[in-house]
Chains A and B, each alone.
Chain A
Amino acid sequence: MLKVDRLGKKYSGRWIFRGLSFELGLGDRLVILGRNGSGKSTLLKTLSGLTERTEGTITFPEGDLRHVLGLSALEQSVYAQLTVAEHLQLTADLRSCPARVDELLQFIELGYAKDVPAGQLSTGMKARLRMAMAIQAKPKLLLLDEPGAGLDEAGRNLVDKITSEQAQRGCLIVATNDPLERRLATLELQLAD
């Protein structure tokens, strides 16, 4: 489903990571571990195309990348003036996929906040919204950056539910420095400092 071959990223003359190769198939759940600044988030951004790679190749599952790939990252912002439902409608219209607003809100347990502007959401609620937007198109490859950050126990259970569901339709990469999130892994990758 995903093949990464000798991937490298250089910033200001320093290699963040280099020579990274791995392959993921259906049901694989790769957890990337490493200290702060080791390049976990940069790796996810490089895989998603938000940051250009310096060298190497990435082979994605076939199809429109807007449908094939979902990313939920801690530093990803939402529009303060738009409501939760409007966010899901916006991303669906832009991806040309079904919005599934009620279904997704029920899944992420945010139905009560459907018409609340995102600027009034708590950190945990925003994290749930980001995850809903990431899984909306039922991507074959899901990238989660620190998915448990800012979430309570119910939120962490939701992450477990999302990762289990994702493993049935594709593969998953989680970047984290939380040792508890190693429970999500079928494969691990430790980034060196």
Chain B
Amino acid sequence: MNSNWQTEIKAVFLKEWRTEMRSLSGILTSLLFSVVTVYAIGFAALSTKLHGTVIAGMLWVALLFSASSSLTRSFLVEEEQGTADLLRLVARPHAVFWGKALFNIFQNLVTSVILSVLYLGFTAATVTMPWLFVVSLVAGCLSLTGAVTLCGAIAAQAANRSMLSAAISVPLLLPLVALGVSGMRISLGDGSWASGGMASVVGLIGYATATLATGPYIFAAVWKS
């Protein structure tokens, strides 16, 4: 990657950072959703000892909707506010995708870590394989960000953006959720590394690599159409 690409990607990242830090719309939406979800689950399970699979499933539901509620907006908002044409005139599509994807990864990692800490605290869950939990969380965040960013990027060009974004997300996110829940479940003591932990981690890393590597090319194909 030459210095021009780095400068261009950094410029898009900085633009995202500045607009987000000054409006706080995406981070506040994610955090609000996270806190309410954790509170609701914690309250519902107040006197119940939850099974590892249920805890992992609930955590992934929260992670998924927290990411979906804010990250898909990064491309849609450019079209809705009419700034997309400015980017089309001066930027290369790969730089736009990578700049936005990197900012989304940062934002999703921050909110996911906060969400997970709160969630584990409220549900009093015991993490038997902390390293697997961390690896599943990080790889899950990367995969989730790649998939959700890609959905937003494709749907942003369409007239009925929100509906299309949701329709594309379902087939892309279902296998990801299955892998993510499996990795988390095992880290919470419901299974072993050999019986599925390794497959989940490899699957999540492969999924993240696939979406982030093909994303810029798919985005470039729809960017000016």
A residues adjacent to B (C-beta < 8 A): 48-50, 52, 66, 69, 71, 73, 75-82, 86, 89-91, 93-96, 117, 133
- A95 engages B90 (CB within 8 Å): yes
Give the distance in Å from the alpha carbon of A77 to the alpha carbon of B83 in the complex. Answer: 5
| Given contacts A52-B225, A91-B90, A133-B86, A79 and B8 within 8 Å (CB-CB) | no
Q: How far is the CB of A42 from chain B (nearest CB, A)?
A: 13
Chain B minimum-CB-distance residue to A117: B22
> Given A50, A80, A89, which contacts B88 in the complex, CB threshold below 8 Å?
A50
What residues on B are CB-neighbors of A66 within 8 Å?
89-92
Question: Residues of B within 8 Å of A, CB-based: how many?
Answer: 26
Give the distance in Å from the alpha carbon of A117 to the alpha carbon of B85 in the complex. Answer: 19
What residues on A are CB-neighbors of B11 within 8 Å?
89-90, 93-94
What residues on A are CB-neighbors of B85 within 8 Å?
50, 73, 76-77
- B82 engages A77 (CB within 8 Å): yes
- A79 engages B88 (CB within 8 Å): no
The residue among B81, B85, B88, B91 with the most chain A CB atoms within 10 A of its own CB is: B85
- B224 engages A77 (CB within 8 Å): no
Give the distance in Å from the alpha carbon of A95 to the alpha carbon of B8 in the complex. Answer: 8
- B8 engages A93 (CB within 8 Å): yes
- A96 engages B83 (CB within 8 Å): no
Q: How far is the CB of A140 from chain B (nearest CB, A)?
A: 15
Chain A minimum-CB-distance residue to B15: A90
B29: interface (CB < 8 Å): no
What residues on A are CB-neighbors of B47 within 8 Å?
none
Q: List 18 A-B contacts (CB under 8 A).
A: A48-B89, A71-B89, A76-B85, A77-B82, A78-B83, A79-B15, A81-B19, A81-B23, A90-B11, A90-B15, A93-B7, A93-B10, A94-B12, A94-B90, A94-B91, A94-B92, A96-B8, A133-B86
Give the distance in Å from the alpha carbon of A48 to the alpha carbon of B89 in the complex. Answer: 8
What residues on B are CB-neighbors of A48 within 8 Å?
89
What residues on A are CB-neighbors of B8 within 8 Å?
93-94, 96
Q: How far is the CB of B7 from chain A (nearest CB, A)?
A: 5
Give the distance in Å from the alpha carbon of A90 to the alpha carbon of B95 in the complex. Answer: 12
B4: interface (CB < 8 Å): yes
Give the distance in Å from the alpha carbon of A117 to the alpha carbon of B10 in the complex. Answer: 20
Chain B minimum-CB-distance residue to A86: B18
Q: How far is the CB of B18 from chain A (nearest CB, A)?
A: 6
Chain A minimum-CB-distance residue to B14: A90
| Given contacts A52-B225, A93-B10, A69 and B89 within 8 Å (CB-CB) | yes
Since A50-B89, A93-B10, A95-B90 are in contact, a sample of 4 more A-B pairs with Cβ atoms closer than 8 Å, ordered by chain A residue number, is A78-B83, A82-B15, A93-B7, A94-B11
Chain A minimum-CB-distance residue to B25: A81
Give the distance in Å from the alpha carbon of A174 to the alpha carbon of B173 in the complex. Answer: 47
Q: What 1/0 mask marks residues of chain B from 158 to 196 whose CB sits below 8 Å from any chain A CB? A: 000000000000000000000000000000000000000
Q: How far is the CB of A119 from chain B (nearest CB, A)?
A: 10
Chain B minimum-CB-distance residue to A69: B89
- B18 engages A77 (CB within 8 Å): no
What residues on A are CB-neighbors of B224 within 8 Å?
49-50, 52
What residues on B are CB-neighbors of A79 within 8 Å?
15, 19, 81, 83
| Given contacts A52-B225, A66-B90, A81 and B95 within 8 Å (CB-CB) | no
Q: How far is the CB of B218 from chain A (nearest CB, A)?
A: 18
Give the distance in Å from the alpha carbon of A66 to the alpha carbon of B91 in the complex. Answer: 8
Give the distance in Å from the alpha carbon of A50 to the alpha carbon of B83 in the complex. Answer: 12
Chain A minimum-CB-distance residue to B20: A81
What residues on A are CB-neighbors of B92 within 8 Å?
66, 94
